Amino acid sequence: MYKFILAIRYLLKRRIAYFAVFAVALCVFIVVVVMTVMTGLVSDFRQKNHRFAGDCVVGTESLVGFVYYEDFVKILDQEDVVEGVSAVIKSYALVSPVGTERNVGVEIMGVEPVRHSRATEFGETLHHHRDDVSKAFEPVYEPNLMGCVIGIDMVLSRDSRGRYSYDSGPPVPGLAVSCFPLTAKGALAKAGAGLVNTKTFYYSDTSHSGLARVDSSMIYLPFDQAQMLCGMGEPVKRTNAIHIKFKPDVKLEAGCERVASLWRDFRREKANQKNANLLEKVTVQSWKNYRRAFIAAMEKEQAMMIVMFALVGITTVFIVFVVSYMIISHKSKDIGILKSIGVSNANVMLLFLCFAFLVGFLGSAIGVLGGWRFLVHINEIEQWLYEKFEFQPLWDRTIYAIDDIPNTIDLKVLGVIILSAIAACLAGVLLPCRQAARQKPVETLQVSQL
Amino acid sequence: MPAGCQAKAGRDFAGEPIMNKDDFILKAEGIYKSYRMGVTEVEVLKGVDLGVKKGEFVAIVGASGSGKSTLLHILGALDRPDKGVVAFEGRDLNRYSGGELNRFRNKMVGFVFQFYHLLDELSVLENVFLPVMVSKGIIGWFGCRRRARSRAGELLGELGLGERANHKPYQLSGGERQRVAIGRALMNEPSILLADEPTGNLDSATGNGILEAFEKLNQAGQTIVMVSHDERVAQRAGRIVTLSDGKIRQT
């Protein structure tokens, strides 16, 4: 009991201990704010990728695609674990606004909007047709025209608050989309003839997935049109990927494993049929693996942040070490007194470990409270800075696809930060308290030492 | 006395049989101790033999630097001799484990130092009952804290400090602080009180009060070993031994 009482009194009565608490609080505050924002960004990015890809993707990187997808879609439709299935054409195209000579390379994605909205959250990304996805490719100004959905950043720009303006009507005229159709063997389908398939589509909607790369380079076309443009409609129909959404109670790994098992059986069944070789390069991946290349970069940034803040943590360890060293040097007489009345070396150590724990706990509590208050108002603060000084300290919304600064505190992250801060304090006090425990009472109580 | 804070009757805290009343409660034989000061080795104690009987009031006198405090620290197990044996109730302190030595310092001896050595962060009352708190875990302490507080209050009352219980040590005079130190030393009703120049930092009137308190305690049966460089102070003890040239001379 005396250990707690003395540790609390040392903390309250030694002004230098306040510096240690302040250092820990400051460190925790910074880490809470940065980790919350960073974790929020990564989590948001992962969610956006999940919404974009669905739960599982059966597909190939090859632009040639694979055959017999309709049969496999039928199999998946009958599966208990599956909620939605959508076959998708993925390719590249040259796009020219009608009446201009300009053209730009884009990615195209051929989807059946209703099916695709069941397998992914495609419908939620639309602006005009969110409530009736079946009409996603019907331009509101002329429903009979062949529509296309355009990645929002290709046609609209963001204002300083990150909002898009739809006020000025259709942002683009018709777009001439040109693709290079490929045969099932990967050769140009129209070699020697016109080479390209071109068709004009009219703006029907924008898609705002929140993924910068997708929103700035993707055009969605009706599935059959995209299939035709890419030469995948005949003689045997092909597609590039099948996006799958599992029912809510199905675990991702279990669902993917089930689909993989179905795919293995399907491949075996089709092994002797025409173009079955195209099935060989098809993989079954969870959305995490499918979008790994994009997510990994973000996670790497987060990992680097953690490493950098671990270095900040080392500074805290050093500050606690110095403060503890000074306090223990000041309190050598107390250590002698305690030993003279029977306190063991281990209990002397425990006393100062207790002190360090209190420094860590109090510092963490102050840092977490401060960080939490700051995060609650972080968007208001940023807005105020922008309105007052036209200063947007974190992300220029006209450039970055970020709506609000993420400020939802993850309790797990918070727990890790608090425990790390306390562990850092205990690590900082370890050497000084070991030294304290080894002090000989006769030396500390000598008149010459007082 | 706080419950569970003392050894059982007839046995010491380590469970060893307690010696007869006429035997030495504390006996030092052939104690040698030297210190290194720079390159030179200073031999302070050169074969000290000393026996203290139960209920005795022994004063150790000697010139400054003669090794009085060193001997007292060795007797109280605050320091170890280079050579020789200190036996408490017949048992060699060298054979005590670390835990037993801690319990010995906590329960069997009470130290009174020249500079009081109170903890500034604790109140007077807390300083006095600190030895009981040290001997208990959290649960044990909650079990006996009322009795400990009450005993500490009684001790302070007997020492004339009943009104000062909630003061901090720095709010007291030197004499009052020394009486608090005596209270702390007596808290666990130790077998021996070891006092190192207890009046050395006090004026003569205050020092006299401290010595009177020692005399009263001794009359009540408390064994006391006191170190002093002042012959007049030592005269208050029942027996005086002089430490000279690293050895004991009986007076």
pLDDT digits (tens, 9 = 90+) for B157-166: 988 888 888 9
CA-based nearest residue to A345, from A218, A437, A230 = A437
Two tokens, residue B128: 């006095």
By mean pLDDT, which of B18-27, B127-136, B156-165 is the weakest?
Answer: B18-27
pLDDT reported for residue A398: 60
A309 or B126, which is more confident: B126
Residue in chain A lying closest to B145 (CA) = A1
Q: What pLDDT sits at residue A312?
A: 79
Distance from CA of A340 to the nearest CA of B (A): 6
Nearest-neighbour CA in chain A from B142: distance (Å): 9
Task: For residue A51, tell me if it sits in a domain.
Answer: no
Please indicate if any CB of chain A lies within 8 Å of the CB of B129.
no
State mean pLDDT over A316-329. 85
- Does any domain span residue A55? no
> Residue A298: is its pLDDT beyond 90?
no
Mean pLDDT of A153-167: 77
Chain B residue numbers touching A2 (CB-CB < 8 A): 130, 133-134
Residues A349 and A233 in one domain: no
Residue A448 confidence (pLDDT) above 60: no
Q: Measure B20 CA to nearest chain A CA, in Å.
A: 26
Percent of chain A with pLDDT over 90: 45
32-61 in chain B: CB under 8 A from chain A = none
pLDDT at A125 over 90: yes
Question: Does residue A52 fall inside a structural domain?
Answer: no
Domain annotation covers residue A56: no
Contact A343 B102 (CB under 8 A): yes
End-to-end CA distance of chain A: 27
Chosen domain end from A254, A281, A308: A281
Residue B96 at interface with chain A, using a CB cutoff of 8 Å: no
The kind and range of the H/E element at A49 are helix A15-53
For residue B7, what pLDDT is reported? 38
Would you place residue B90 in the very low, low, confident or very high pLDDT band (cuts 50, 70, 90)?
confident
A chain contacts of residue B103, beta-carbon cutoff 8 Å: 342
pLDDT band for A54, please (50, 70, 90 cuts).
Answer: very high
- Domain count for chain A, please give it: 2
What is the structure's pLDDT at B52?
92
Instruction: Give domain status of residue B233, yes or no.
Output: yes
Within a domain: A147: yes
Q: What percent of chain A has pLDDT over 70?
A: 93
- Place A168 in a pLDDT band, splitting at 50, 70 and 90: low
Closest Cα in chain A, distance from residue B101 (Å): 8
pLDDT at A271 over 60: yes
Q: Is residue A250 part of a domain?
A: yes
- List, for residues A174-199, the tens digit of each pLDDT value: 889 998 888 877 777 665 556 678 89
User: Can you give the pLDDT at residue A170?
Assistant: 60
pLDDT at B15: 47
Its domain, for residue A72, covers 61-281
Answer yes or no: is B18 within a domain.
no
My answer on whether A81 and A195 are in the same domain is yes
Preceding amide of A235 cis, omega within 30: yes
Q: Are residues A299 and A261 part of one domain? A: no
Instruction: Specify whether the CB–CB gap between A311 and A27 falls below 8 A.
Output: no
Q: How confident is the model at residue B11 (pLDDT cuts 50, 70, 90)?
A: very low
Supply the range of the domain harboring residue B186: 24-250
What's the Cα-to-Cα distance from A163 to each of A214, A261, A403, B208, rounded to whole Å?
18, 44, 8, 88
Name the pairing type of β-strands B192-196 and B109-112. Answer: parallel
Please state whether the predicted TM-score (pTM) of the whole model is above 0.90. no
* A286 in a structural domain: no
Interface test with A, best of B113, B134, B149, B177 (most A CBs within 10 A): B134
Question: Could you tell me the CATH number of the domain that includes residue B203?
Answer: 3.40.50.300
pLDDT tens per residue, range A103-113? 899 999 999 99
Residue A14 to residue B240: CA distance in whole angstroms: 44
Residue A344 and residue B102: Cβ atoms within 8 Å? yes
Kindly state the average pLDDT of the residues A280-303: 90
Q: Does B133 touch chain A (CB under 8 A)?
A: yes
